[in-house]
Amino acid sequence: MTPGRERGLTALLCAAGSGLALLAAGRTWATVRAEDAITPLTRNLTGGDLGGAAGALGLAGLAGLAALFATRGRVRAGVGVLIALFGAGIAYASAAAVQRSNVLSAAGDKSALLALGGDPALDVNLWWIVSVTGGVVLAVAGLLTAVRGGRWPGMSARYERAAPPEHALPRSAAAEDDDPSALWKSLDRGEDPTARKNGRP
């Protein structure tokens, strides 16, 4: 695999990991039911309700994706380390968010009536696992960047071998004679374009 393709694959992993974390953050992770409360009620809690750290780190991962293309060498390797840390943070924050104590605390903040229920029932779904998966994928992308990123081309590498500007290329007298715009420009300067053809200076 060429360095350019390797960079592209890593960028896709970075985008996928961050995207999964952001997608999951807005979904319901847990449901709390207080059947024994004065007024029985149910509260659905999203990833953002349970702390929001995973979503914030997902945004940071997208920023790291942009830096992956904008940097090169050791700086890019440092960006890779940060991306890996973001991914590990997403995985940890997601797992910690669905702990019973954290869920009940977040539910109590949304409704004081839940605290009056004797023993609220707790139901955790699988969206937090999606967030953990996104964190793992992002961490893998970061590690690949840290280890291999120094060999990848920079964002402007394809322009380094560009042709020299037009003004740097010599123009032959014949080309100027065949160019109608050049004849008009010489007339504007007060020159006689026929003098060169007739051998006069």
Reading the block at residue 192, the tokens are 């006689």
Average pLDDT over residues 92-107: 89
pLDDT at 90 over 50: yes
- Is the pLDDT at 14 greater than 90, yes or no? yes
Are 133 and 73 found together in one domain? Answer: yes
**Together in a domain, 88 and 60:** yes
Asked if residue 188 and residue 97 are part of one domain, the reply reads no
Residues 40 and 104 in one domain: yes
CATH number of the domain residue 62 falls in: 1.20.140
Closest C-alpha to 124, from 102, 157, 154: 102
Angle at 90 between CA 73 and CA 82, to 5 degrees: 15
Task: Give residue 119's pLDDT.
Answer: 73
What is residue 115's predicted lDDT score, i.e. its pLDDT? 56
**One domain for residues 176 and 145:** no
| CA distance from start to end of the chain | 61
pLDDT band per the 50, 70, 90 thresholds, residue 127: very high
87 and 185 inside one domain: no
Condensed to tens digits (0 to 9), the pLDDT of residues 106-122 reads 877 766 655 555 677 88
- Does 121 or 198 have the greater pLDDT score? 121
Domain-embedded: residue 163: no
192 and 97 together in one domain:
no
Domain presence at residue 147:
yes
- Order the strands of the 28-34 sheet from edge to edge: 41-46, 28-34, 121-124
Domain count, the chain: 2
- Give the Cα separation of 50 and 180 in Å (integer): 73
- 118 compared with 81, residue with greater pLDDT: 81
71 belongs to a structural domain: yes
Q: What is the pLDDT of residue 12?
A: 94
- CA separation for the pair 42, 143 (Å, rounded): 42
Whether the predicted model's global pTM rises above the 0.85 cut: no
Q: Distance between CA 147 and CA 59 in Å, rounded?
A: 23
Chain mean pLDDT for the chain: 80
Rounded Cα distance between 13 and 79, Å, is 15
Calculate what percentage of the chain has a pLDDT beyond 90. Answer: 39
Q: What range does the domain containing 69 cover?
A: 3-154
